[in-house]
Chains A and B, each alone.
Chain A
Amino acid sequence: MAEVILKNIKKVYPNSEPKEKKGLFGKKKKDDEEKPHHTHHLQITDEGVVAVQEFSLNIKDKEFIVLVGPSGCGKSTTLRMVAGLEEISGGELYIDGVLMNSVEPKDRDIAMVFQSYALYPHMTVYDNMAYSLKIKNVPKAEIDKKVREAAEILDITQYLNRKPKALSGGQRQRVAIGRAIVRNPKVLLMDEPLSNLDAKLRNQMRAEIIKLRQRINTTFIYVTHDQTEAMTLGDRIVVMKDGFIMQIGTPQEVFDHPANLFVAGFIGTPQMNFFDAKLAIHNGDYYVETEDVSVKLSDSKQKRLKEKGVKEQPVTLGVRPEHMEIAETGIPGKIDVTELMGSSSHLHMTIKGKDAIVIVPRSDSQENHMGEEIHLSFDGSNAHVFSLEDQHNLEY
């Protein structure tokens, strides 16, 4: 049982505090990625640079939460605050109902998998995994049992006597996970665990993590910049930007109902297409209109907009590439490049001077060539309208 509750968590790096970890050799540390001096959009107050603010989230027991966002958004900082590696500047953190703000990492009953694996190079795989148990003076026999169990789950039994140096990246990753799970932690934290792997291994390990999750019952908090990982792994996703939460929701919710322009653009690949448009009301119904088309929004959208009493206004219209189709009439555009992707084709287009991507079935693409002018349409249930003012989704 481990609920994790974050209440209005805040992280401020005081201006005076030297956060730079640059070696005299000029070698920069990897974890700099999340440090504030790399980004310029973070809020700067008298206290210093605000890396995370107004972060509130209730994580249920055994839930798999993914924090996702571009570099510098504060996701790793948040995770490190949960771990106890960073001080919490404001707000409260509870694990299982106990306030954890000032508790040292070793007493939080958490485990963490690092991006660089951080395996102890002078110890064998076995000793790496056994280290935390040895410190707690767990009896030798029990350590052995637990290490072998974890090794079994991760399929690394045959490497137990090797040093980390003798392992491949994927194997090291497994050891890092093994080291974390031997202790049956209340919360398992993972900081970009797959980003040091190549694309093929990454897909494989992603599946492994899903399997792992079914075998060990614990709460997961997972940080990634990769929205695909977020979508496939998370029960719920927390999308972050510039230290703020942009949206919390299930992968489906975040995908189908992005709360704002940023989430709409960040989640889903290829990226959502955006056009300048107008939200119009005809006979009490909402339409989204460009110069060429006028599409009536779906009933559920009508209802939500009406409830909020949204007025006619210029908007940013968002439509995902897979939701656009070739039609006789509609928005005109020119095909720049056709990419055959197997079962479908990606058409890279210029529409009203902007780049856009449209995914069409393969049969369609055979008729469409580079340089050709075509027309596109979309369904009212797939159109997202965002306020020009503050970029939020007008439905919510």
Chain B
Amino acid sequence: MEKGTSSPKTRSISYAKWGYIFILPFFIVYAIFTLYPQLLTVYNSFFEYYRDGLTVVGPNFVGLANYKALFTANSAGYVPIFKFLGNTIWLWVIGALPQFTIAMLLALFFTSTRLNIKGQQFFKTVIYMPNLIMASAFAMLFFALFSQVGPVNQLLVSSGITQQPINFLGMRIYVQSLIGLMNFLMWFGNTTILLMAGIQGIDESLFESARLDGSTSTQVFFNITMPLLMPIFIYVFITSMIGGIQMFDVPQVLTNGHGIPDNTSTTLIMYLNNFLGISKNYGMAGAVSMLLFVITAVLSTFVFKTINKK
């Protein structure tokens, strides 16, 4: 006890030190396993540092050369980072568009007192389930189903719809659609539940009075539900975007890390992953990470703004 160690006159009972003690483990681990590596990432981005076969090149300070390289066109005539950022956004969009449309509809169905949907718990349980599935296993399953000798092609050929099996994993439109479909399946249940909670948070009497005022359900939706749901909608939308920027498992496994065909399904993180693979190009990987950080920081600012507005 501190009674013995300090004079009772000046030293008084204060619990402040316990606050520091309780948060200490978090910050020690954070500093060692997250903050220090993060700073190292930034540091690396200014160095030439990679492995070439068995020799390690660097680290040599190169200033902004890695960033310059990042934004320089390659031999195929495009700037990889722009293409992959574009891929990532596009792959997110084709999943998110149906995801948010369907989720909004379902949330409205579930919360409608007029429709009074039965079996909500069952439906929610089922549509949320894909969210918990191991993404790599899910992608592998789709690969198995849609491969050239897979059951889908067998069905198409045997039923005479096509003469030859379709090379689903060799054509951009199919690969991208499959990724979109998987992302949609994995996330629409989650979004539905979040939006539902948002709608349920709105004062019920507002809907009732609007209805008594003679509003149609469409008018109620646009005049009451949507404006009041906006903060939560934006929150869910942007967190989905942040998740989308980090898209990796599904395209990586589905395309075996190659973003086939022709890197049209290579995402930002897949690009980062390539630098961290055998080449251990910490310099370029650092530069890609910084770009990723900047994008999420901008998006996160929006999230915090919407939260604070509430």
Contact A101 B12 (CB under 8 A): yes
B1 partner residues in chain A, CB cutoff 8 A = 104, 107
What is the CA–CA distance of A369 and B288 in the complex, to the nearest angstrom?
Answer: 90
B309 partner residues in chain A, CB cutoff 8 A = none
Closest chain A residue to B8 by CB distance? A102
The answer to whether the Cβ of B133 comes within 8 Å of any Cβ in the partner chain is no
Within 8 A of A (CB), among B1-15: 1-3, 6, 8-9, 11-14
Report A334 CB to chain B, min CB distance, Å. Answer: 44
Report B163 CB to chain A, min CB distance, Å. Answer: 62
The answer to whether the Cβ of A87 comes within 8 Å of any Cβ in the partner chain is yes
Contact B9 A87 (CB under 8 A): no
Of the candidates B1, B6, B11, the one having the most CB atoms from chain A within 10 angstroms of its own CB is B1
The answer to whether the Cβ of A118 comes within 8 Å of any Cβ in the partner chain is no
What is the CA–CA distance of A88 and B13 in the complex, to the nearest angstrom?
Answer: 8
Contact A101 B14 (CB under 8 A): no
The answer to whether the Cβ of A1 comes within 8 Å of any Cβ in the partner chain is no
What is the CA–CA distance of A21 and B14 in the complex, to the nearest angstrom?
Answer: 17
Report B265 CB to chain A, min CB distance, Å. Answer: 40
19 A/B residue pairs, CB under 8 Å, sorted by A: A84-B13, A87-B12, A87-B13, A87-B14, A99-B8, A101-B8, A101-B9, A101-B12, A101-B13, A102-B2, A102-B3, A102-B6, A102-B11, A102-B12, A103-B3, A104-B1, A104-B13, A105-B13, A107-B3
Kindly supply a per-residue 1/0 record for chain A positions 93-127, scoring 1 wherever the CB is within 8 Å of any chain B CB and 0 otherwise.
00000010111110100000000000000000000
B12 partner residues in chain A, CB cutoff 8 A = 87-88, 101-102
What is the CA–CA distance of A84 and B14 in the complex, to the nearest angstrom?
Answer: 9
Report A23 CB to chain B, min CB distance, Å. Answer: 14
What is the CA–CA distance of A104 and B9 in the complex, to the nearest angstrom?
Answer: 14
What is the CA–CA distance of A105 and B12 in the complex, to the nearest angstrom?
Answer: 12
Closest chain B residue to A24 by CB distance? B307
A99 partner residues in chain B, CB cutoff 8 A = 8
Report B198 CB to chain A, min CB distance, Å. Answer: 15
Report B69 CB to chain A, min CB distance, Å. Answer: 44
Report A199 CB to chain B, min CB distance, Å. Answer: 31
A107 partner residues in chain B, CB cutoff 8 A = 1, 3
Within 8 A of B (CB), among A66-109: 84, 87-88, 99, 101-105, 107
Of the candidates A88, A102, A105, the one having the most CB atoms from chain B within 10 angstroms of its own CB is A102
Report A109 CB to chain B, min CB distance, Å. Answer: 14
* 3 pairs of A and B residues whose beta carbons are closest in the complex: A102-B8, A87-B12, A102-B12
A84 partner residues in chain B, CB cutoff 8 A = 13
What is the CA–CA distance of A104 and B17 in the complex, to the nearest angstrom?
Answer: 14
Kindly list 12 other residue pairs between chains A and B, CB separation below 8 angstroms, not including A87-B12, A101-B9, A103-B8. A84-B13, A101-B8, A101-B13, A102-B6, A102-B9, A102-B11, A102-B12, A102-B13, A103-B13, A104-B13, A105-B13, A107-B3
Closest chain A residue to B6 by CB distance? A102
B11 partner residues in chain A, CB cutoff 8 A = 102
Closest chain A residue to B9 by CB distance? A101
Closest chain B residue to A98 by CB distance? B8
Within 8 A of A (CB), among B60-100: none
Report B110 CB to chain A, min CB distance, Å. Answer: 23
What is the CA–CA distance of A102 and B12 in the complex, to the nearest angstrom?
Answer: 4
Report B60 CB to chain A, min CB distance, Å. Answer: 48
Report A58 CB to chain B, min CB distance, Å. Answer: 20
Report A95 CB to chain B, min CB distance, Å. Answer: 13
What is the CA–CA distance of A354 and B14 in the complex, to the nearest angstrom?
Answer: 50
What is the CA–CA distance of A88 and B9 in the complex, to the nearest angstrom?
Answer: 10
What is the CA–CA distance of A342 and B1 in the complex, to the nearest angstrom?
Answer: 60
A101 partner residues in chain B, CB cutoff 8 A = 8-9, 12-13
Report A129 CB to chain B, min CB distance, Å. Answer: 25
Closest chain B residue to A104 by CB distance? B13
Report A92 CB to chain B, min CB distance, Å. Answer: 9
Closest chain B residue to A26 by CB distance? B310
A102 partner residues in chain B, CB cutoff 8 A = 2-3, 6, 8-9, 11-13
Report B285 CB to chain A, min CB distance, Å. Answer: 36
What is the CA–CA distance of A105 and B15 in the complex, to the nearest angstrom?
Answer: 12
Closest chain B residue to A100 by CB distance? B8
Report B266 CB to chain A, min CB distance, Å. Answer: 40
What is the CA–CA distance of A96 and B170 in the complex, to the nearest angstrom?
Answer: 88
Report B11 CB to chain A, min CB distance, Å. Answer: 5
What is the CA–CA distance of A101 and B7 in the complex, to the nearest angstrom?
Answer: 10
Kindly supply a per-residue 1/0 record for chain B positions 230-242, scoring 1 wherever the CB is within 8 Å of any chain A CB and 0 otherwise.
0000000000000
What is the CA–CA distance of A102 and B6 in the complex, to the nearest angstrom?
Answer: 9
A104 partner residues in chain B, CB cutoff 8 A = 1, 13
Within 8 A of A (CB), among B200-226: none
Report A78 CB to chain B, min CB distance, Å. Answer: 15
What is the CA–CA distance of A50 and B302 in the complex, to the nearest angstrom?
Answer: 41
What is the CA–CA distance of A87 and B1 in the complex, to the nearest angstrom?
Answer: 16
What is the CA–CA distance of A217 and B1 in the complex, to the nearest angstrom?
Answer: 30
Report A236 CB to chain B, min CB distance, Å. Answer: 27
What is the CA–CA distance of A88 and B12 in the complex, to the nearest angstrom?
Answer: 7
Of the candidates B2, B11, B12, B14, the one having the most CB atoms from chain A within 10 angstroms of its own CB is B12
Kindly supply a per-residue 1/0 record for chain A positions 168-184, scoring 1 wherever the CB is within 8 Å of any chain B CB and 0 otherwise.
00000000000000000
What is the CA–CA distance of A87 and B9 in the complex, to the nearest angstrom?
Answer: 12
